Chains A and B, each alone.
Chain A
Amino acid sequence: MLDAFLPFLSGLGLALQPINLVYCLVGALVGTLIGVLPGIGVTATVAMLLPVTFFLPPLTSLIMLAGIYYGAQYGGSTTAILVNLPGESSSMVTCLDGYKLARQGRAGPALAVAALASLFAGIFATLFIALFAPPLADLALLFGAAEYFALMIVGLIAAIVLAQGSLLTALGMIVFGLLLSMVGTDLNSGAARMTFGIPELSDGIGFVPIAMGLFAIGEIARNLESGADRSVLAMRIGSLWPSQDDLRRSTPAAIRGTLIGSVLGVLPGGGALLSSFAAYAVEKRLAREPGRFGEGAIEGVAAPEAANNAGAQTSFIPLLTLGIPANPVMALMVGAMMIQGIQPGPEVMVKRPDLFWGLIASMLVGNVMLVIINLPLIQIWVSLLKIPYRLLFPSILVFCCIGVYTLNNSALEVMMILVFGVMGYAFLKWKCEAAPLMLAFILGPLMEENLRRVMLLAKGEPSYLLTRPISIGLILVAVGLVLILVVPAFKQTRAEAFREAP
């Protein structure tokens, strides 16, 4: 048992190196900032900061980017509680009870419970990853092309089953994303595919302009037209200390939220968003007086905030062990690793244990930093909320453009933001979730490569996929997931899990 934690301790040593501490803090600060500010999401921010990671060592850049993701879960609760707006989409359910508590003059305890529940969840999720990632990576080392292809299918299908919206639309988005990923030179034959003869496109479409177009531009236009200029109530936060009663109620809720988040985070399509919705739904169902929920129940803050932080962290497990991203943020992490010349997958743990354990251990450090950043310094973040959106959105545009341009010094890539910005806006208008497209875009080349290998081994017989036990299992899971969606009872549960949004 103790042996299992030796590599973790050496990772902790790396995470505590000054440069890694500094960038862990930078990630935590940026994460809190964008978490607090509504209208800037994690995906767009990570995309914006990718060019900066060129200049950092691999471990340092991963630590920073990871800090942004889980840091945003801390910041998101602040806005949810004080302004009744989700700073991050994963804080949507926190608005329900958090804002009520603030209206009752109990903003301080609500903020404190949110931060402490997140801290507990963060520490637990770190140990969860340390325990479960290595065996999963060992298993993944046995995978051949057939297993990988099946795994990617399961990943994509699960990602849409566990997400919001229509299955058919999401399948369409997956095919769309896969098609876009085919643009560029075919690695096997050197043939140009769908490049329109544009030389810059021979390397394929960059994932950074796609992420920015889909997740930043459309969002900005939407925020502007809804005229969401939020006004922060001149609210006194008061004492941060939760009462005995608060602690008694929120401790079990935080523990349940942590467990739910840790498990749901691992699943493809999981992560912070799904975890927080599920945790809230469970608390409401278990409560002796469900009527208190929505009227300022402290459990309604503790559970989803613990869950979204745990889920954000454990969603690194499929990335680190299988090389398969669970959500768009993880898809960008794949990109960040490839920029550094690292192919994500089970080999990372064997070949680069420093990277693997250093990143995991940094989460422990980051979570402690985040509590300090969020609780004593809360007034600073509240004052940032007063920045009007009309000053914010031009700044986001400037950073997006500079970020994309510096990636390859290519003005054409900046133009790509424009193309995908129109798409992102259209998808918002048509209620098509963009996340499956992004996942499919990242997985596309891998899927093609593995499909080619499978078919070569199988001599063109697709039934080969059904001759290997692991791939049979995975394909059965994929079929099961689709069937489940057709079952009315599950359909209803799924709709219910996402219904709580205000």
Chain B
Amino acid sequence: MQVIRIRNSSDVLFGLTLIGFGAVALYLMADVRMGTATRMGPAYFPNVLGWLAIGFGVAIIGRGVTVAGDAAEAWSWRALLPILISVAVFALGIERLGLALTVIALTLVACAADASTRWGQAGLLAVALALFSVAVFVLGLGLPLPLLPAGMR
């Protein structure tokens, strides 16, 4: 038997993702009422889509092992990870630390994503962005954002 060879890893990875999401959807909708084609229940359309996702996933993997294509590019965690962490910092910080400190923290973490960052400049940028956000979004537009850390309000 011939070993299946991956000819286009982008296709295989995307196909697997689709199958995964389709399967999760089918699993999550298993206990929800299906209904009939005439009177569709809440699970009807999602189930159709779940099977479609699996179908397309299989087809795309099929293409990935038969038709040659570009290999998926390598991920650069060096750039991606600090960006993701900086967003998480905002999500976790905004209610506890308030807007000013959170923006400073976000900026500093994000700057780690760029190899050419000069840290003095990054510090200035962080403070400038914090001042700008407070001035425009809270004082200017009056958006209901907490300004100060939770203990100091």
Contacts and interface: CB of A to CB of B under 8 A. Distances in A.
A421 B40 contact: no
Contacts of B84: 217, 418, 421-422
Interface string B131-153: 00100010001111100000000
A400 to B, nearest CB: 8
Contact of A451 (B40, B78, B113): B40
Given A193-B43, A225-B79, A390-B116, A432 B14 contact: yes
A8 B38 CA distance: 44
Nearest to B57: A172
A364 interface: no
Interface string B14-34: 110110011011001100110
B79 A224 contact: yes
B145 A451 contact: no
A379 interface: no
A394 B88 contact: no
Given A409-B144, A418-B84, A182 B14 contact: no
Contacts of A81: none
Contact of A51 (B50, B91, B143): B143
A456 B38 contact: yes
Interface string A467-491: 0000000000000000000000000
Contacts of B86: 394, 397
A398 B107 contact: yes
Interface in B94-138: 94-95, 99, 103, 106-107, 110-111, 113-118, 121-122, 125-126, 129, 133, 137
B14 A169 contact: yes
Interface stretch (A96-104, A136-144, A173-181, A251-259): A173-181
Contacts of B68: none
A171 B15 CA distance: 12
A446 to B, nearest CB: 12
A418 B103 contact: no
Interface string B23-60: 01100110011001111111101100110110011011
Interface string A369-395: 000000000000000000011110111
Given A194-B46, A401-B90, A225 B78 contact: yes
Interface residues of A, number: 67
Contacts of B14: 169, 172, 427, 430, 432
Interface residues of B, number: 76
B33 A189 contact: yes
Nearest to A449: B45
B32 A191 contact: yes
Q: Does more than half of chain A's interface fall in helix, strand or loop, or is it mixed? A: helix
Contacts of A168: 56, 59-60, 63
Interface string A396-412: 01101110011001011
Q: Which of A175, A182, A193, A391 has the most CB of B within 10 A?
A: A175
Given A175-B53, A405-B94, A418-B91, A194 B10 contact: no
A175 B117 contact: no
Given A171-B56, A455-B37, A220 B42 contact: no
Interface string A420-432: 0110011101111
17 contacts: A168-B56, A168-B63, A189-B42, A194-B28, A224-B76, A393-B113, A394-B86, A394-B122, A394-B129, A395-B125, A401-B87, A402-B133, A402-B143, A421-B87, A425-B80, A460-B37, A460-B38
Interface of A: 51-52, 55, 168-169, 171-172, 175-176, 178-179, 182, 186, 188-189, 191, 193-194, 196, 217, 220-222, 224-225, 227, 229, 388-391, 393-395, 397-398, 400-402, 405-406, 409, 411-412, 414-415, 417-418, 421-422, 425-427, 429-432, 447-448, 451-452, 455-456, 458-460, 462
